[in-house]
Amino acid sequence: MISISGIVGLYIFMLAAFAGWIIIGRVPAILHTPLMSGSNFVHGIVVIGGILVLLNASTLTEQIIGFVAVLLGAGNAAGGYAVTERMLAMFQTSSPALKHKAHHRPRKG
Amino acid sequence: MLSLLPQLTIGAVDLVAAFLLLYGLHRMASPVTAPSGIFVAGIGMAVVVLVSFLDIFGVSAAATPVLPVNIGLAVIAIAIGGGVAWWAGKKVAMTAMPQMVAIYNGMGGGAAGAIAAVELFGRHATGMTPLTVTLLGALIGAVSFSGSLIAWAKLQSILNKPLRFPGQKIVNAAVFLITLALGVYIILLDRTGAMSSGLIYLFFGCAMIFGILMTLPIGGADMPVVISIYNACTGLAVGLEGFVLQNPALMIAGMVVGAAGLMLTLVMAKAMNRSVSNVLFSNFGDAPKHKHSDMKGSLKPTEASDAGIFMNYAAKVIIIPGYGLAAAQGQQKLYEFVKLLQSTGVDVKFAIHPVAGRMPGQMDVLLAEAGVPYDMIFQLEDINDEFANTDVALVIGANDVVNPAARTDKSSPIYGMPILNADKSKQVYVVKRGEGKGYAGIQNELFYGENCNMVYGDAAVVLTKMIEAVRGLGKAAA
């Protein structure tokens, strides 16, 4: 089993927070709604935590709450993906040439 | 404990999945790569969920007898939760997107809270650090869960009025302090080994009540910022529970969203010229306390057909769409009208205010849905200087984002918010349902200006009339 001590945990948190800050800072304002929904999807990974505790549940209470955790987590992940994918599929450009430009020069929001 | 092979598989897949989720978010930075970004992230999620079932090789001795039941429960929970949410997400109208995001976010917060609850009830989290982190994640997750549900109810118009009562802040603060005190008490009791389940229920109950109380007084107009905050909170809660479960993928994904959500919240608050604490604690949002009886000039109604023909002869038109357009389902008609104008050589652009719609960027999505190419859509700071040499500014279903009171009237609740300078263009047409006020409940002096005419009616109906009028011109000429 991997063992992460408090200090190592803080380092992981610090680096991850920095990465999130940088990644989102680059997203143009036009994509803010899909992005909020996309980051919402990403924390749907909580479902695997739910699976882990449910599989290890030994009492009825633990089973019920674990079931709820997986139910909600799966809803977060699946729903988040469905709406984000739908929204992003709609964005299109008027000229094919612009596709290249937009890729290299994202508008700052 | 897990045997070596499943353990290595889980570790490796978690690592890859964490990378795919981050890389996917990264690809969402541009409209061109964004669709592939969510796909990449989706693959990461699917794989990590499948592989997490390898945990069956490492369950504790106490859980081994009921393992088949637990596996069945997990599969059923994924099928029901994932299935229903997927179906709802595919069916929901684009205008209802903010409340959908709110509810999915609440689910994530609830899941994090539930994980913490299992850890607490099962006495898995013991010792100062794990217990503190579990409780912190539980608190944040539970607040995010109940708060998001209230936000959903407000956006869905189930709760219409912000609930405010005297001494509210004191009550909220008291509930929060009680929750914290309960948490500390649980940690202290853990040392003596006398922790009771009732106390844990109470802790979760208080945390959820705090989430409700916290969100109730905030007005509908501020809900986007609130959802964004709860999005960050859920991320944080997931990251903290990831630490408790010793799962680095959860820690990384959760904390990335925590930081990203915080960043997005600050961007939004800045666009409204409000501080985050002002949104949360000033209890403004749709309180029309401000009286405006001293409007100069008068409202000058005009016919949709006249406005349409006027725009047909203009050189440059900037369109400012707002939520009213989406509420009338007028985006398709609008783009049809725009294409008609373009075919006669009119230069048409869309100007989007950062808080247009019920969520930052929602207007962009709604226009994209109607087929408007994103290179025609401009954000406030990129287009605001162009209004001065624009012939017509067409405001459709927007109000507060073009209200000049934000520049001049210090007593106005929107004072200081950056607005689109529609009033600087030569002619302004405002398409509106009636003479009502905007979402923030304040009068708009733009409508009374010399250069402004009102076109009353449902946006979709008005646009249909404009299209007919312009088509009629073309036929007459031919």
**Distance (Å) from the alpha carbon of B373 to chain A's nearest alpha carbon:** 4
Say what the pLDDT of residue B15 is: 93
Q: Tell me which residue of B282, B408, B401, B302 sits closest to B353, measured CA to CA.
A: B401
Q: Work out the angle at residue B80's Cα, subtended by the Cα atoms of residues B15 and B154, and round it to the nearest 5 degrees.
A: 95
Q: Is B34's CB within 8 Å of A34's CB?
A: yes
Distance between CA B124 and CA A62 in Å, rounded? 11
What band does A107 get if pLDDT is binned at 50, 70 and 90?
Answer: very low
Say what the pLDDT of residue A100 is: 45
String of DSSP letters for B16-58: HHHHHHHHHHHHTTSTTTHHHHHHHHHHHHHHHHHHGGGGGGG
Question: In chain A, what residues touch B22 (CB-CB under 8 Å)?
Answer: 19, 23
Cα separation of the two ends of chain A: 43
Residue B94 contacts residue B366 (beta carbons within 8 Å)? yes
Of A1, A20, A80, which has the smallest distance from its Cβ to B256's Cβ?
A20
What band does A106 get if pLDDT is binned at 50, 70 and 90?
Answer: very low
Cα separation of the two ends of chain B: 83
- Best of B8, B43, B45 to substitute, by most chain A Cβ atoms within 10 angstroms, is B45
Q: Is B89's CB within 8 Å of A81's CB?
A: yes
pLDDT tens digits, B41-87: 999 999 999 999 998 888 888 888 999 999 999 999 999 999 999 99
When mean pLDDT is compared over A96-100, B93-97, B198-202, the highest value belongs to: B198-202
Q: pLDDT at residue B140 above 80?
A: yes
Question: In chain B, what residues touch A107 (CB-CB under 8 Å)?
Answer: 379, 382
pLDDT tens digits, B377-436: 998 888 999 999 999 999 998 888 898 888 888 777 777 788 899 999 999 999 988 776
Q: Which residues contact B367 (CB under 8 A, 6 or more apart)?
A: B321, B331, B335, B350, B352, B377
pLDDT tens digits, B219-264: 777 888 899 999 999 999 999 999 999 999 999 999 999 999 898 8
Say what the pLDDT of residue B286 is: 45
**Distance (Å) from the alpha carbon of B108 to chain A's nearest alpha carbon:** 5
Distance between CA B272 and CA B280 in Å, rounded? 13
Q: Which residues contact A64 (CB under 8 A, 6 or more apart)?
A: none
- Best of A36, A65, A88, A104 to substitute, by most chain B Cβ atoms within 10 angstroms, is A36
- Best of B69, B118, B335, B353 to substitute, by most chain A Cβ atoms within 10 angstroms, is B118
Say what the pLDDT of residue B21 is: 94
Question: In chain A, what residues touch B262 (CB-CB under 8 Å)?
Answer: 21
Q: Where are the domains of chain A?
A: 31-103
Query: Which burial class, exposed, middle or buried, applies to B123 when counting CB atoms under 10 A from its CB (0-12, 13-18, 19+)?
Result: exposed
C-alpha torsion angle, residues B65, B66, B67, B73 (rounded to 10): 170
* Weakest mean pLDDT among B284-293, B314-323, B442-451: B284-293
Distance of CA B165 to CAs B205, B215, B222, Å? 21, 13, 19
Query: How many Cβ pairs within 8 Å bridge chains A and B?
Result: 426
Q: Is B42's CB within 8 Å of A85's CB?
A: yes
Identified catalytic residue from B190, B222, B400, B423? B400
pLDDT tens digits, A43-92: 999 999 999 999 999 999 999 999 999 999 999 999 999 999 999 988 87
Of B73, B238, B246, which has the smallest distance from its Cβ to A46's Cβ?
B238
Say what the pLDDT of residue B317 is: 95
Q: What is the mean pLDDT of chain A?
A: 84
Q: What is the mean pLDDT of chain B?
A: 88
pTM here is 0.84
CA A61 to chain CA mean position, Å: 29
pLDDT tens digits, B156-186: 888 877 778 888 889 999 999 999 999 999 9
**Distance (Å) from the alpha carbon of A60 to chain B's nearest alpha carbon:** 10
Q: Which residues contact A25 (CB under 8 A, 6 or more apart)?
A: B263
How many CB atoms sit inside 10 A of residue B356's CB? 28
Of chain B, the percentage scoring pLDDT greater than 90 comes to: 54
**Distance (Å) from the alpha carbon of B391 to chain A's nearest alpha carbon:** 24
How many CB atoms sit inside 10 A of residue B76's CB? 13
Q: Which residues contact B189 (CB under 8 A, 6 or more apart)?
A: B195, B196, B199
What band does A101 get if pLDDT is binned at 50, 70 and 90?
Answer: very low
* Weakest mean pLDDT among A73-77, B21-25, B436-440, B458-462: B436-440
Q: Is A34's CB within 8 Å of B376's CB?
A: no
Residue B82 contacts residue A74 (beta carbons within 8 Å)? yes
pLDDT tens digits, B293-342: 567 778 888 999 999 999 999 999 999 998 888 888 889 999 999 999 99
**Distance (Å) from the alpha carbon of A52 to chain B's nearest alpha carbon:** 6
Beta partners for residue B291, in sequence order: none
Question: In chain A, what residues touch B132 (CB-CB under 8 Å)?
Answer: none
Interface confidence, given as ipTM, is 0.86
String of DSSP letters for B119-131: HHHTT---SHHHH
Instruction: Name the CATH architecture for the domain at B292-477.
Output: 3-Layer(aba) Sandwich (3.40)
Question: In chain B, what residues touch A7 (CB-CB under 8 Å)?
Answer: none
Q: Tell me which residue of B319, B321, B289 sits closest to B399, measured CA to CA.
A: B321
Q: Is A85's CB within 8 Å of B38's CB?
A: yes
Q: pLDDT at residue B89 above 50?
A: yes
Q: Where are the domains of chain B?
A: 95-284, 292-477
Q: Catalytic site residue B400?
A: yes
Q: Looking at B247-325, which runs of residues are DSSP E strands? A: 316-321
What burial letters (b/e) apply to B16-34, b meaning 16+ CB within 10 Å? bbbebbbebbbbbbbbbbb
Question: In chain A, what residues touch B371 (CB-CB under 8 Å)?
Answer: 92
Say what the pLDDT of residue B284 is: 53
